[in-house]
Structure formats: structure tokens, C-alpha cells
Homo-oligomer: A and B are copies of this chain.
Amino acid sequence: MQKPALPKGTRDFLPDEVIRRNYIFQILKSVFSIHGFVPIETPSLELMQSLTGKYGEEGDRLLFKILNSGNFLEDIDPQDWQSGNAHKIAASIAKRGLRYDLTVPLARFVVMNRDKISFPFKRYQIQPVWRADRPQKGRYQEFYQCDCDVIGSKSLWYEADLISIYSEVFSKLQIPVEIKINHRGILMGMAEALDIGPLFIPMTMCIDKLDKIGSEKVKADLIALSLTPEKADALLHWIQIKEIAELPAAVLSSPSGAKAYQDLQRIMEYTVRYELKQDVVFDPSLARGLSYYTGFIVEVKGKNMDMGSLGGGGRYDNLTGSFGLPDIPGVGISFGAERIYDIMESHQLFPTGLRNPLKVLVICLDDAAFGSGLEMVISARAAGISTDLYPEVVKLNKSMKYANDLKIPYTILIGSSELESNNYSFKNMMTGIQESKSKQAILDFLLSDIH
């Protein structure tokens, strides 16, 4: 006899949690759908050759690998065993792995299905991903990602449209947010203005940490990168400017900066037409670590919430290059469903009516009532009302406790006196008020009740 347990970093979802999570997913799907995005799904399993090398060294380490079927020992080169080469042995005995994100599978999907889809291809995808990260509060080894991307167009209108999707989704979820935007070209323009172009990538990685470690430490890191203190100061000053037009001409007229400035102005021209309910702000310190972004970048933060980003995204030039199809541009955003869930829980933002849809429980007080009880249940369900029958005749407090535990709003009691009068006892479980009603009167009431 074993004590049951779950692998670390994984979770069971109870009915109320599934219903609440689906509420979030449903809002995402409805907004994606109104904006012309369609769903795709990819398998949980991918070939390791599709995954390895796509997420950096750290990412490779965090990939879940699936042991080959059959006698996997035959796949091991004895020399690798002798030399204890775990890396090479893993590559031999595990040809498949679990999806690490939705972006690499999208790239593979687009290349493999390019004859079946039309470009611009607008897809959304809401599926779990797996990472062998050290589990901690709010971080799991299996969690959902929710992405929407437009593949195959350079139009900057999509940037504005994706910003509007962020705004609409978070407004529907009742989470006030700040949508921060920037452009990799602004950061590149700063590097060009400071004549440190070759340091662009490590520079952005330093800047990315501003929120976490503060400007003092970022300055030290920049100097460690060989920037002079003056250049580090200039950079730190620039990335804290709130209005794009206030950036120095040296940045805005540099080759990369000029293009980025033009792009961002165009994006904002489109964006203002949407009359969004959420704030969109320019933030030149926004860097987005992922190196595949090449243009516009975006990140969403909850207002007055001590929590990381609720979503992020950007434009990329070469999504599918590593799968043999170069020069396919794209732009996309992602939603952090787990964090959104946590915020909605802690701020009590889920609608109160969100729960088990079961609306009424029929309780038979003796065996003779069972036939009428069953008839009541069948009629109510036929009318579209989620209804159940307590399956046995038990003490009333036991069946009533069941109705209360499941938060069922109404019960119908049927015993000998109800059978005689042909009127059932109909109880509102919230108010405790019990009335005698005909079957039809109960059905009419339940159908009109939007409780």
C-alpha cells in the first residue's frame, strides 16, 4: 500500500479551480476570436532535435526528456558510459522531450504546415508546457501558456492590435494594468549613440535587471562590461525617460533609433484610435531578455501589485529560420495565466456566480418518492437546468449538508405529503425560505432565475 503523492511542481485542480481557470481561458479565447485569431494545438511531445539549443544552455538543462521505448540500454555507446558522459547518453536514450514553450512548436508547425495555412497566419494557442525548474511559490514544472501571434506580416498595425488585446483582456478580467512598450531599436540606438554597438546584447541584459536590482547595481554591471562611468550614467538616465520625444537626438537619429522612433510613432497613431481603457506607456528600460525579439517589445504589469509581469511579447524577424524557412516575420504576445489566476484569487476578482453550475438538488424523503423525483430531474434537465438527484433516502441533514457543501442554490424535497398534494417543497438554500410549489411553477421559477 503506497501513500499517494504528486511529482514536485505539479498540481491537481479541484472543480472550483478548473471552473475559475476556464473563466480566464474563456475570456482570452473570446477576445482572440473577435480579433480574428484561430486556435491550433501541437503535441506535448516534440523531438529533442526540435527543442535542443533553442532556449540557451539553461533551457536545455530544464527540458523534460522522455526515455526511449524498448531496451534503451542498446542506444548507449559503451564509451559514453565509461566516460560518464551524461549529456551524450541522455541524447541517445531520450529522442523525445516535452514542449518547453509554445513558440518553438509554432515555428515547427508553420514550417510543416505552410501549404495548409494562409499568411498572415493569426493563431492562438493555450496549452501546458513543462520546465524542470526548481519549484517555488507560484512557479510550477507544468503550467499553461497562452500565446497569440501573427506570422508573415511586417504591418505595424498588428502591434497596435495586440496592445488592444492586452487592454481588452485585462479590462474584462477587471485587472488594472500598465502596458509598457519599447522597441529594441531604441536600445540599439542608445548603444550606437554611445558607440558600444557590439555590447548590445549584454547591455540589454543588464538593463533588464533594473527593476530587480536597482540602478546602482546596474551601473556597476555596465562598468564591468567596460562602459565608462559617464556612458553608464548616460544610459541609466536615458532608460528612465518617460516621453520618447525627450530622448536625445543622438539616440533618435541613430540608424536603429530613427527606425524605432518611426515605428513607435506609427504604432501609437494606430493605438490611440482604439480608445483603450488601460494605460499604454513608453518605457525605454523595457528590454525583454529573449534575444529573438528584433523590433517592438511589450510587457504588462498589474497596477499597484507586487508581482512580476502578467504578459509580454514583441516582434521577431526570423521565427522559422532554424527549421529551414528563413525571413518569416512575426509579432506575438503571451499571457501569464498562472499569475493572472493568483492575482484574481487574492484580489477576489472572480465573479461570485462562478462555481459548480448545479442549480438544484432533488431529495427524496422516502423510496416511494423516487419515481417522482426522477421525473422532476429529467424535466428540469430537459429545460436546460443543471439538476441532480440525491441518490438515496438518508437523514435530511445529510442530504442538505451535501447541497450546502456543493453550494447548490436550491433543493426540492419530495415525501409522502408532497406526493399527496402534488406540490413539492422548494427551498432557497441561501435564504432558507421553503415554499410549496407545483412542478411547473418550480421549473418556471428556475428558468427565470439568473442567480
Contact = CB atoms under 8 A, between A and B. Distances in A.
Interface of A: 1-7, 10-15, 18-19, 22, 33-36, 38-47, 49-50, 61-62, 64-67, 69, 71-73, 81, 84, 86, 89-90, 93-96, 98, 108-109, 111-113, 116-118, 120, 122-123, 128, 130, 132, 141-142, 153, 155, 157-158, 270, 273-274, 322-324, 356-358, 370-371, 374-375, 378, 381, 384-389, 391-392, 402, 405-406
Contact of A116 (B14, B49, B108): B14
A288 to B, nearest CB: 23
B153 A42 contact: no
Contacts of A67: 64-67, 90, 93-94
Nearest to A49: B2
B73 A5 contact: no
Given A3-B324, A13-B41, A18-B39, A155 B392 contact: yes
Contacts of A356: 38
A38 B66 contact: no
Given A72-B86, A120-B391, A12 B41 contact: yes
A18 B35 contact: no
B90 A72 contact: yes
A85 B140 CA distance: 33
A206 to B, nearest CB: 29
A40 B19 contact: no
19 contacts: A2-B50, A4-B50, A4-B111, A4-B112, A7-B45, A12-B41, A18-B38, A18-B39, A22-B39, A34-B381, A36-B388, A45-B130, A67-B90, A118-B402, A122-B388, A155-B391, A155-B392, A273-B378, A274-B378
Contacts of A71: 86
A392 B158 CA distance: 11
A118 B407 CA distance: 11
B12 A38 contact: no
Given A67-B94, A153-B392, A374-B270, A43 B10 contact: yes
B93 A46 contact: no
Given A35-B381, A273-B374, 20 more contacts: A2-B324, A4-B108, A5-B112, A7-B96, A10-B44, A12-B42, A12-B113, A13-B41, A14-B113, A18-B39, A38-B358, A66-B67, A67-B90, A69-B132, A72-B90, A73-B84, A73-B86, A118-B405, A157-B389, A273-B371
Nearest to A133: B69
